[in-house]
Chains A and B, each alone.
Chain A
Amino acid sequence: MIDGMKGMTVIVKTISSWVKLLIFLFGIYIVLFGHLTPGGGFAGGIILASSYVLLMFAYGREFVEANLPLGLASKLDSVGAFLFALVAILGFAFGGAFFANFLYQNYLPGESLRLISAGTIPLSNIAIGLKVGASLFLIILTLSICCHYEAGSEEPNDDEE
Chain B
Amino acid sequence: MLILYVLMLFMIIAAVIAVETRNLLSAVICVGSIGFVGSLMFLFLCAPDIAITQIVVEVLGLIILIRATISRDLTFISGDKEFFGVVVSIVLIAVIFLAGMKVLDTLPAFGTAIFTQVPDAASQVYLSEGLQRTGAANIVTSVILDFRAYDTLGEATVLFTSILGASAILRKKSRRRLG
**Which residues of A come within 8 Å of B, CB atoms?**
30, 34-43, 46-47, 49-50, 53, 74, 77, 81, 84-85, 88, 98-99, 101, 104, 108-113, 117-121, 124-125, 128, 131-132, 135-136, 138-140, 142-147, 150-151, 158-160
From residue A153, how far is it (CB to closest CB) to chain B in Å? 13
Q: Are A144 and B67 in contact (CB under 8 A)?
A: yes
Chain A residues with Cβ below 8 Å from B141 are 34-35, 40, 118, 121, 125
**Contacts A/B (CB < 8 Å), 17 sampled:** A35-B135, A35-B142, A35-B145, A36-B138, A40-B49, A40-B144, A47-B56, A50-B60, A53-B60, A88-B149, A98-B150, A101-B135, A120-B145, A142-B166, A142-B167, A143-B170, A151-B71
Chain B residues with Cβ below 8 Å from A98 are 150
From residue A81, how far is it (CB to closest CB) to chain B in Å? 5
Q: Are B53 and A113 in contact (CB under 8 A)?
A: no
Binds A, one of B16-24, B25-33, B100-108, B152-160: B152-160
With an 8 Å Cβ cutoff, the count of chain B residues facing the other chain is 42
Q: Are B68 and A139 in contact (CB under 8 A)?
A: no
Supply 14 further A-B pairs (C-beta < 8 A) apart from A35-B138, A42-B53, A85-B153: A30-B52, A39-B49, A40-B140, A40-B141, A43-B56, A49-B60, A112-B131, A113-B137, A121-B134, A142-B166, A142-B167, A143-B67, A145-B170, A150-B71
Q: Which of A49, A104, A117, A146 contacts B170 (CB 8 A)?
A: A146
Q: In the docked arrangement, what's the CA distance between A146 and B149, Å? A: 35
B13 beta carbon closer than 8 Å to chain A? no
Chain A residues with Cβ below 8 Å from B150 are 98-99
Q: Which of B57, B64, B142 contacts A143 (CB 8 A)?
A: B64
From residue A48, how far is it (CB to closest CB) to chain B in Å? 10
Chain A residues with Cβ below 8 Å from B64 are 139-140, 143
A-B contact count (CB 8 A): 144
**Which residues of B come within 8 Å of A, CB atoms?**
48-49, 52-53, 56-57, 59-60, 63-64, 67-68, 71, 131, 134-138, 140-142, 144-146, 149-150, 152-153, 156, 159-160, 162-163, 166-167, 170-174, 178
Closest 4 CB pairs of A and B: A99-B149, A118-B136, A35-B136, A118-B135
